A and B are shown apart, each in its own frame.
Chain A
Amino acid sequence: MNQDLLKIEHLSVSFKNSKDQTHAVRDLSLTVKGGEVVGLVGESGSGKSVTARSIVGLLSNSKKTAVSGRVLFKGQNLLMNQERKRLNSQKIAMIFQDPLNSLNPVYTIGHQIREVFMVRKKMGKAIANARAIDILKKVDIQSPETIARQYPHQLSGGMCQRVMIAIALAAEPELLIADEPTTALDVTIQAQILKLLYQLYTTTKTAILFITHDLGLVAQFCHFVAIMQEGQIVEKGRVSDIFKNPQHPYTKGLINSIPVLGKKKRLNPMPLYQGGVHPNSSCSFFPRCTEIKRRCEKETPEFIEIEPGHFVRCHIEDGVSLL
Chain B
Amino acid sequence: MNEDLLNVRSLTKEYINKRRIFSRKSHIFKAVDKISFSIRKGETFGLVGESGCGKSTTGKMLVRLEEPTTGKIYFKGENLTDLNEKQMQPIRRNLQMIFQNPYGSLNPKMTLKQIIEEPLKIHKLAVNNRHKRICQLLDYVGLQSAFLDRYPSEFSGGQRQRIAIARALSLHPEFIVADEPVSALDVSIQAHILNLLIDLQKEFSLTYLFISHDLSVVRYISDRAGVMYLGKIVEMADCDNLYDHPLHPYTKMLLASIPIPDPEKPFEFVTEDLPGIQVSRQKHGCAFYPRCANRIENCLLDKPELKEISPGHFAACHLYTT
The 8 Å CB contact of B270, one of A188, A220, A221, A267, is: A188
Tell me which of A12-20, A83-91, A249-257 binds B: A249-257
The 8 Å CB contact of B253, one of A188, A190, A215, A254, is: A188
B277 to A186, Cβ gap below 8 A? yes
Given contacts A219-B263, A243-B262, A260-B261, contact A191 B256 (CB under 8 A): yes
A112 at the interface (CB under 8 A from B): no
Which of A44, A189, A258 has most chain B Cβ within 10 Å? Answer: A258
B10 at the interface (CB under 8 A from A): no
Report B110-124 CB contacts with A as 1/0, cut-off 8 Å: 000000000000000
Residues on A with beta carbons closer than 8 Å to the beta carbon of B136: none
B243 at the interface (CB under 8 A from A): yes
Report A269-281 CB contacts with B as 1/0, cut-off 8 Å: 1101000000000
A240 at the interface (CB under 8 A from B): yes
Given contacts A140-B273, A188-B257, contact A269 B263 (CB under 8 A): no
Residues on A with beta carbons closer than 8 Å to the beta carbon of B215: 187, 261
Tell me which of B19-27, B166-174, B183-191, B303-311 binds A: B183-191
Q: What is the minimal beta-carbon distance from B256 to any residue of chain A, in angstroms?
A: 7
A191 to B188, Cβ gap below 8 A? no
A240 to B257, Cβ gap below 8 A? no
Which of A192, A240, A244 has most chain B Cβ within 10 Å? Answer: A192
A220 to B187, Cβ gap below 8 A? no
Q: How large is the interface on A (under 10, 10 to 19, 20 to 34, 35 or more residues)?
A: 35 or more
Q: How distant is the Cα of A44 from the Cα of B189 in the complex, in angstroms?
A: 11
Q: How distant is the Cα of A83 from the Cα of B260 in the complex, in angstroms?
A: 43
Q: What is the minimal beta-carbon distance from A225 to any residue of chain B, in angstroms?
A: 9
Q: What is the minimal beta-carbon distance from B239 to any residue of chain A, in angstroms?
A: 9
A187 to B266, Cβ gap below 8 A? no
Residues facing B in A209-266 (CB within 8 A) are 213-221, 239-240, 243-244, 253-262, 264, 266
A134 at the interface (CB under 8 A from B): no
Q: How distant is the Cα of A299 from the Cα of B46 in the complex, in angstroms?
A: 47
Report B251-285 CB contacts with A as 1/0, cut-off 8 Å: 00111111111111111011001101110000000
Q: How distant is the Cα of A244 from the Cα of B273 in the complex, in angstroms?
A: 33
A204 at the interface (CB under 8 A from B): no
Q: How distant is the Cα of A194 from the Cα of B256 in the complex, in angstroms?
A: 13
B261 to A255, Cβ gap below 8 A? yes
Which of B198, B255, B264 has most chain A Cβ within 10 Å? Answer: B264
Q: What is the minimal beta-carbon distance from A182 to any residue of chain B, in angstroms?
A: 9
Q: What is the minimal beta-carbon distance from A250 to any residue of chain B, in angstroms?
A: 9
Residues on B with beta carbons closer than 8 Å to the beta carbon of A156: 276, 278
Residues facing A in B211-269 (CB within 8 A) are 213-217, 219-220, 243-244, 253-267, 269
The 8 Å CB contact of A190, one of B187, B192, B257, B266, is: B257
Residues on A with beta carbons closer than 8 Å to the beta carbon of B220: 259, 264, 267
A-B contact pairs, 6 of them (CB 8 A): A187-B213, A187-B258, A188-B50, A239-B263, A240-B263, A259-B217
Question: Which residues of chain B have a CB within 8 Å of any CB of chain A?
Answer: 50-51, 158, 186-192, 194-195, 198, 213-217, 219-220, 243-244, 253-267, 269-270, 273-274, 276-278
Question: Which residues of chain A have a CB within 8 Å of any CB of chain B?
Answer: 43-44, 140, 156, 158-159, 186-192, 194-195, 198, 213-221, 239-240, 243-244, 253-262, 264, 266-270, 272
